[in-house]
């Protein structure tokens, strides 16, 4: 586990305690599939994960300073891992991270002093999610044009739709929620 110098964003690699010192790849080579038990056929080999594939989790306090720090941490992770993602997709993804973390800070901090940002990268997609422990499940309401703010989830939904991605809100086992968006690495052709 690596913590930045301000001790605000903690980075963990899901499934083990690999550090980010080696660009998130961890020490040693990936395990290879072996043969099955004696007398059974070996399962067909799975394609090896691409070097940039993985799941990372960032935890941060639910304070305003965490918004740009989470956005920068996601951007830096994508660069460090060499994720082949189009620039316009990165910009949309970073805006989604900003909106979701801002919502967690503004609306969930009282019951959830810590939030988590997870980044999952597959061969053809990237998924970001923000988790907090507040039980309220927000909805993307039509915003009052006379008010400032209140359009974050609408913006997330629109960016996701335009990118031909998906987004949703799910309850967690601990009673909180996870809001996530998944976008293709390459922009959709129209």
In CATH, what number is assigned to the domain containing residue 145?
A: 3.30.565.10
Predicted local distance difference test score (pLDDT) of residue 124: 94
Is residue 20 domain-resident?
no
Residue range 108-135: mean pLDDT, rounded:
95
Domain that residue 150 falls in = 49-184
Please tell me the predicted confidence (pLDDT) of residue 152.
Answer: 80
Residue 132 lies in a domain: yes
Looking at per-residue pLDDT, the higher value among 179 and 2 belongs to 179
Q: In this predicted model, which residue has the larger pLDDT, 7 or 104?
A: 104
The tens digit of pLDDT for each residue in 68-101 reads 999 999 999 999 999 999 999 999 999 999 999 9
Give one DSSP letter per residue of 123-147, joined into a string: SSEEEEEEEES-------PPPPTTS
**In a domain? residue 63:** yes
Is 143 a domain residue?
Answer: yes
Name the more confident of 116 and 44. 116
32 within domain boundaries: no
Flag whether 75 is in a domain.
Answer: yes
In a domain, 1, yes or no: no
Mean predicted lDDT score pLDDT of the chain: 78
- What percentage of the chain's residues is helix, strand, coil (to nearest 5)? 25, 25, 50
In a domain, 24, yes or no: no
Total tally of structural domains belonging to the chain:
1
Average pLDDT rounded to a whole number, residues 30-55 = 64
The pTM is what?
0.73
């Amino acid at each position: 586990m690596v913590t930045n110098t301000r001790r605000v964003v903690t980075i963990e690699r899901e499934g083990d305690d690999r550090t980010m010192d080696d660009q998130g790849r961890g020490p040693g080579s990936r395990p290879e599939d072996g043969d099955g038990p004696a007398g059974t056929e070996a399962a067909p080999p799975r394609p090896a994960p691409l070097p940039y594939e993985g799941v990372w989790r960032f935890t941060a306090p639910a304070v305003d300073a965490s918004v740009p720090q989470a956005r920068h941490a996601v951007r830096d992770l994508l660069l460090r891992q060499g994720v082949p993602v189009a620039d316009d997709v990165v910009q949309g993804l970073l805006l989604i991270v900003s909106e979701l973390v801002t919502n967690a800070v503004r609306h969930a901090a009282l019951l959830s002093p810590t939030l988590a940002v997870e980044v999952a990268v597959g061969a053809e997609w990237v998924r970001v999610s923000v988790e907090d422990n507040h039980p309220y499940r927000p909805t993307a309401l039509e915003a009052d044009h006379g008010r400032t703010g209140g359009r974050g989830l609408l913006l997330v939904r629109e960016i996701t739709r335009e990118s031909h991605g998906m987004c949703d809100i799910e309850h967690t086992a601990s009673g909180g929620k996870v809001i996530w968006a998944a976008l293709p690495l390459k922009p959709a052709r129209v």
